[in-house]
């Protein structure tokens, strides 16, 4: 299954779950300030303190809708999660947040239930980040 299709599927699962959308958005906002702002900048325009050190410049995340003509939820979700990376094609500048969030959630546990919960939470955090980015589209 392609990364985008998997992203669309995960998004549908999250949309069907009862967790509050406001909560996810708040978490996304907090995650962005902590994890994304170093490169993308607090205003998401790509001028974070780490940006200058990168060989590839972070893009302006307030212009996603402008660039694609609509806000491509599945694509943004896949990019953040790292689902769009072809296997074995080395690294990209941006960390693979899907892996980071799942590892954080699993911790030292070896239980399958914990792994499933962690993967669920990771999808929810990524969806929260995606929705937060959606609120920034067209920011001056
Ligand atoms: C280490 C620096 C770095 C961090 C931290 C980082 N990014 Fe990125 N991001 C980049 C770079 C560089 C690009 C563009 C080049 C690329 O594709 O690798 C990018 C691209 C993106 C894109 C693609 C935009 C498009 O138009 O296709 C999205 C979405 C994105 N980042 C979201 C995030 C989110 C959300 C976080 C925090 C969870 C984050 N980034 C953290 C460096 C970073």
pLDDT band at 55 (very low <50, low <70, confident <90, very high): confident
Judge whether residue 87 has pLDDT over 90. no
Residue range 19-38, pLDDT digits in tens: 677 888 999 999 999 999 99
CA distance 116 to 112: 6
- Centre of ligand 1 from the C-alpha of residue 140, in Å: 20
Contacts 24+ apart (CB under 8 A), 46-52: none
Q: Greater confidence, 83 or 51?
A: 51
Nearest residue (by CA) to ligand 1, atom 36, is 36
Judge whether residue 92 has pLDDT over 80. no
Judge whether residue 7 has pLDDT over 90. no
Lowest mean per-residue pLDDT among 19-23, 60-64, 73-77, 107-111: 19-23
Name every protein residue with a CB atom under 6 angstroms from any ligand 1 atom: 31, 35-36, 38-40, 50, 54, 56, 58-59, 61, 64, 67, 76, 79-80, 92-95, 97, 129
Lowest mean per-residue pLDDT among 14-18, 42-46, 74-78, 127-131: 14-18
For residues 124-140, average pLDDT = 93
Which residues neighbour 118 within 8 Å (Cβ) at sequence distance 6 or greater? Answer: 101, 102, 104, 105, 106
Q: What is the pLDDT of residue 70?
A: 96
Averaged pLDDT of the chain:
87
- Centre of ligand 1 from the C-alpha of residue 12, in Å: 23
């Amino acid at each position: 299954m392609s990364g985008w299709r998997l992203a669309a599927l995960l998004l549908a699962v999250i949309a069907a779950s009862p967790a509050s959308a406001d909560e996810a958005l708040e978490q996304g906002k907090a995650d962005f300030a902590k994890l994304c702002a170093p490169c993308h900048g607090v205003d998401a325009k790509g001028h974070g303190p780490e940006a200058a050190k990168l060989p590839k410049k972070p893009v302006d995340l307030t212009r996603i809708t402008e660039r694609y003509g609509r806000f491509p939820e599945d694509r943004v979700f896949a990019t953040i999660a790292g689902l769009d990376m072809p296997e074995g094609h080395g690294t990209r500048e941006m960390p693979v947040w899907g892996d980071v969030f799942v590892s954080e959630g699993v911790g030292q546990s070896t239980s399958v239930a914990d792994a499933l919960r962690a993967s669920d939470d990771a999808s929810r955090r990524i969806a929260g980040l995606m929705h937060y980015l959606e609120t920034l589209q067209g920011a001056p």
